[in-house]
Structure 1
Amino acid sequence: MPIQQSDVLYTAVATAHGGRDGRVATDDGRLDVIVSPPKEMGGSGTGTNPEQLFAAGYSACFQGALGVVARQEGADVSGSTVTARVGIGKNDEGFGIIVEIEADIPNMDAAEARALIEKAHQVCPYSKATRGNINVTLR
């Protein structure tokens, strides 16, 4: 169920100048980066790119969701990390993305870690936003 405008707790605002080969900045000045296509896509690769920014946001959000689920379950995820790999490639409609989420949870057996990751995937706002739209693999 979509949230309503009255339920919004925070809104991030970023403006792009020049698309994939330009600059992106937030309205509060905390983020101001040069963006450029990666060399693999014919760009200079000198700036960051939208896929890196998406991977950064998704990994941070998923790590937060993992912490929420762990607290609910009484599990210890201290020292854990979440890595998001975002790929871009051609599909029938032009271009699309694919995501792989890898969580490393020390001192937890594989089955318990997998269960927590699956639960985090159900509550993570990025996972909810992408569900049914792109392929997301959990590891």
Structure 2
Amino acid sequence: MNTRYTAIATASGREGRAVSSDGRLDVTLAPPKDLGGSGEGTNPEQLFAAGYAACFASALQLVGRRKKIDVSEASVTAEVSLVPDGEAFGLAVTLRVELPDELQGETGTALVEATHQVCPYSNATRGNVPVKLVID
């Protein structure tokens, strides 16, 4: 496998810190109030949502360039939910892709579905995490 980039981060748990190896990311972690925590920091689901939204938006730009479609006005919001899964927990994701009016309909749907095939986060979660695509 030809690796193009490797990100490295260390965390001490849901309460503490997460730090990237280069020091560019250094965040305080705390469970959200909804889960009985202080809410005084970020949490893994927020970090995953930010990463997935950024990655999907970048993949959308790539697919747009390949198809010669201007997607510069598009944005992606990721909603990452922590859900019970028997004795464990899992994730569920909704990706809300905001497209300009001229890309609504079949063109936008095809564009978003093609992006879902290209995005590394989509490929990593496929078959393991339910992902709902919503075009706004």
Which deviates the most, 101-110 or 43-52? 101-110
SS of the residue aligned with 2:40? coil
In the alignment, which of 53, 60, 67 is matched to residue 66 of structure 1? Answer: 60
Measure, in 2, the Cα distance between the counterparts of 1:40 and 1:131: 27
SS of the residue aligned with 1:47? coil
Asked if 1:80 is matched to 2:74, the reply is yes
Q: Which residue of 1 aligns with 2:123?
A: 128
Asked if 1:99 is matched to 2:57, the reply is no
SS of the residue aligned with 2:39? coil
Normalised by the size of structure 1, how large is the TM-score? 0.92
Asked if 1:109 is matched to 2:73, the reply is no
Deviant stretches of 4+, over 4 Å: none
Offset, 1:110: 2.4
SS of the residue aligned with 1:44? coil
Q: Please give the per-residue CA displacement for 1:80-135, whole angstroms capped at 9, x wherever unaligned.
A: 10000000021114111100001111132222111100000001000000000010
Q: Which residue of 1 aligns with 2:18?
A: 24
Flag structure 2 segments of 5+ consecutive residues without an equivalent. Answer: none
- Whichever residue aligns with residue 55 of structure 1, its letter is A
In the alignment, which of 6, 11, 29 is matched to residue 11 of structure 1? Answer: 6
Flag structure 1 segments of 5+ consecutive residues without an equivalent. Answer: none
Q: Please give the per-residue CA displacement for 1:5-42, whole angstroms capped at 9, x wherever unaligned.
A: xx11111010012x001100001110100001111111
Normalised by the size of structure 2, how large is the TM-score? 0.94
**Residue correspondences, number:** 133
In the alignment, which of 9, 26, 29 is matched to residue 35 of structure 1? Answer: 29
